[in-house]
């Protein structure tokens, strides 16, 4: 049978090792032959002098159903990404503005069926998020531990999503109201996740002063439930905590003989989160998560000045850049600029009172040396912690959305810090094996034809904080499920919902 596509004379990386020059034939959505392909394809791609790899897998994104269906994912396709994992950090949402979180069993069924019918540019799989479900299940105040009955309901909802194809379960224990969850609630859910043979990913309870204790908690929960663990965007935040990853990574390595545990990392020393992430827990609890309950700022301003986490950034409020707010005139400005350098804690609360879902970039809060230490671990994958974005988007957003994979390649692979084989394994077979993406993450006969073709030495990120939407360079072709979706520009969409 005549191949649909033949890739000629490329240097092949199969997901684990470099194979040398070969041709690849694609028939339908699968790779049908590797070697010398004599038949002429309907489409011929000359890959002479180029590297041919499995399509890259980004295991930590926050793509929603609306996000998946309504843009061309240019930010990731230009980097060679063909598959993503969403539903991270405990969030399980329908809309990109966080306004319509999944709550009931019926809504889970509706969402999973909608995922089946989605028309994404690239492949996606979803986790089921703890925080989103907790907001529905806990009656009255959510700033408390779940009761036994509520925990049983959470387990039931998680099981429903897992049975319908969710690949695992995620927590965001740093975020309210997930931060109020205790061991019994989490482990009960994790035992069901383990029973289903799926993965647990966690945005840990703390990534700064209590990062060591938080890693210990994550390992303890996973060990108690005997579940596969993924520690999301692992880092130690704040100058006083630089170097603590040496301790946490040793803890992770020591746990490998009891459980399967891995990590992922983005390669920027700036982070991004909801603006309320730096607020002391006691304030959130007192206002019951409703910022309209803040009427007298005096007490809260004092607590924020004393206990808030703004000082984790090297330059405090000057390093906190608003990236999402109902008042669009504030986007791109620092809290310091918005407050004209005065009454900055009050400025902070006013920002949240006018938009409780405001988001920000927190610059200069992680050590580049620590990032390298984490990235070099054999169990660390590379993940953007971002979204799927259209080529026409000009949003002020964390640059990692547009450049994380390319920056990893240019900074760590092309520089020689990691070998080509080890660096590319972190983007292909390691995430595929960890998250159960059968038939992906490899160049082999009968594997899905998710393929990236590039001039490796020219792969680089070009986005900046002021222009975060600039698309990466160096990729020549991207194929997803057998269809060419990029040849220097976006040419189509051919993603699927990956279920387990």
Would residue 438 count as lying in a domain?
A: no
Please indicate, yes or no, if residue 215 is contained in any of the structural domains. yes
| Boundary residue ending a domain (335, 362, 389) | 362
Asked whether residue 493 is assigned to any structural domain, the reply reads no
494: in domain: no
Taking only the tens place, the pLDDT of each residue in 430-471 is: 999 999 999 999 999 999 999 999 999 999 999 998 899 999
Task: For 232-252, write each residue's pLDDT tens digit.
Answer: 999 999 989 999 999 999 999
**Are residues 217 and 113 located together in one domain of the fold?**
yes
Domain hosting residue 25, numbered range: 5-54+446-486
- Phi and psi at 24, nearest 5°, equal -130, 130
Count how many domains the chain has. Answer: 3
Give me the DSSP letters along 86-107: ES-TT--BSSTTS-SB--SHHH
DSSP letter assigned to residue 64: -
Q: Is the pLDDT of residue 414 over 60?
A: yes
For residue 233, what pLDDT is reported?
A: 97
The pLDDT-based confidence of 47 (bands split at 50, 70, 90) is very high
Pair (63, 202) in one structural domain: yes
* pLDDT tens per residue across span 103-156: 678 888 888 999 999 999 999 999 999 998 988 888 766 789 999 999 999 999
Same domain, 234 and 370: yes
Query: Same domain for 344 and 452?
Result: no
Same domain, 320 and 381: no
Domain C-terminal end among 328, 346, 362? 362
**Which ranges constitute the DSSP H helices of 164-287?**
183-195, 211-225, 245-255, 281-286
Cα gap 459→420, rounded to integer Å: 13
What 3-state DSSP class applies to 430? helix
Q: Which residue has the tokens 């009050």?
A: 346
45 and 61 share one domain: no
Residue 441 domain-assigned (yes or no): no
Inside any domain, residue 334: yes
State how far the Cα of 69 lies from the Cα of 52, in Å rounded to an integer: 28
- Prior bond to 428 cis, omega within 30? no
Q: What is the CATH number of the domain that holds 34?
A: 2.30.40.10
> What pLDDT score was predicted for residue 156?
95
Considering 391, 411, 433, which residue would you say is the last residue of a domain?
433
Place of tokens 């730096």: 278
Same domain, 236 and 310: no
Does one domain contain both 384 and 309?
no
67 and 210 part of one domain: yes
Residue 160 within a domain: yes
In a domain, 173, yes or no: yes
Co-location of 82 and 209 in the same domain: yes
Whole-angstrom distance, CA of residue 266 vs CA of residue 271: 9
Dist CA 447 CA 304 (whole Å): 53
Strand partners, 129: 170
């Amino acid at each position: 049978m005549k191949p649909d596509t033949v890739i000629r004379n490329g240097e092949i990386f199969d997901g684990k090792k470099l194979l040398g020059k070969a041709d690849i034939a694609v028939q339908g959505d699968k790779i049908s032959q590797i070697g010398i392909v004599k038949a002429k394809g309907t489409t011929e791609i000359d890959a002479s002098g180029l590297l041919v790899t499995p399509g890259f897998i980004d295991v930590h994104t926050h793509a929603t159903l609306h996000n998946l269906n309504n843009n061309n994912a240019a930010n990731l396709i230009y980097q060679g990404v063909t598959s993503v994992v969403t539903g991270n950090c405990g969030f399980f949402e329908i809309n990109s503005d966080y306004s319509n979180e999944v709550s009931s069993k019926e809504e889970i069924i509706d969402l999973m069926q909608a995922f089946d019918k989605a028309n994404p540019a690239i492949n996606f799989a979803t986790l089921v998020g703890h925080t989103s479900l907790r907001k529905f299940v806990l009656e009255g105040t959510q700033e408390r531990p779940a009761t036994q009955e509520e925990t049983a309901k959470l387990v039931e909802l998680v099981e429903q999503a897992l049975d319908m194809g969710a690949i695992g379960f995620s927590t965001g224990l740093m975020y309210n109201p997930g931060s109020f969850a205790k061991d019994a609630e989490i482990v009960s859910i994790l035992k069901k996740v383990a029973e289903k043979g799926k993965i647990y990913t966690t945005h840990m309870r703390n990534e700064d002063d209590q990062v060591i204790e938080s890693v210990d908690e994550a390992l303890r929960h996973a060990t108690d439930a005997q579940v596969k663990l993924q520690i999301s965007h692992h880092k130690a935040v704040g100058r006083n905590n630089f170097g603590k990853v040496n301790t946490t990574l040793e803890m992770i390595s020591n746990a490998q003989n009891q459980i399967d545990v891995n990590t992922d990392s983005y390669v920027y020393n700036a982070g991004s989160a909801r603006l309320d992430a730096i607020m002391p827990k006691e304030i959130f609890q007192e206002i019951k998560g409703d910022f309209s309950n803040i009427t007298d700022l005096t007490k809260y301003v004092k607590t924020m000045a004393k206990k808030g986490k703004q000082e984790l950034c090297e330059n405090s409020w000057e390093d906190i850049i608003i990236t999402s707010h109902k008042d669009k005139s504030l986007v791109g400005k620092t809290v310091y600029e918005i407050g004209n350098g005065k009454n900055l804690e009050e400025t902070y609360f006013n920002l949240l009172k006018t938009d409780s879902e405001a988001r920000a970039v927190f610059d200069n809060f992680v050590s580049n040396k620590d990032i390298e230490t984490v990235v070099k671990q054999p169990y660390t994958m590379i993940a953007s912690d971002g979204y799927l974005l259209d080529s026409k988007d000009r949003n002020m957003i964390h640059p990692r959305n547009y450049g994380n994979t390319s920056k990893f390649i240019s900074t760590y692979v092309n520089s020689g810090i990691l070998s080509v084989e080890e660096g590319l394994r972190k983007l292909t077979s390691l995430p595929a094996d960890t998250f159960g993406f059968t038939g992906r993450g490899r160049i082999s006969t009968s594997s899905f034809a998710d393929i990236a073709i590039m001039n490796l030495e020219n792969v680089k990120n070009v986005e900046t904080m002021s222009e975060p939407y600039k698309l990466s360079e160096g990729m020549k072709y991207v194929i997803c499920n057998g269809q060419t979706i990029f040849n220097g520009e976006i040419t189509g969409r051919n993603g699927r919902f990956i279920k387990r």
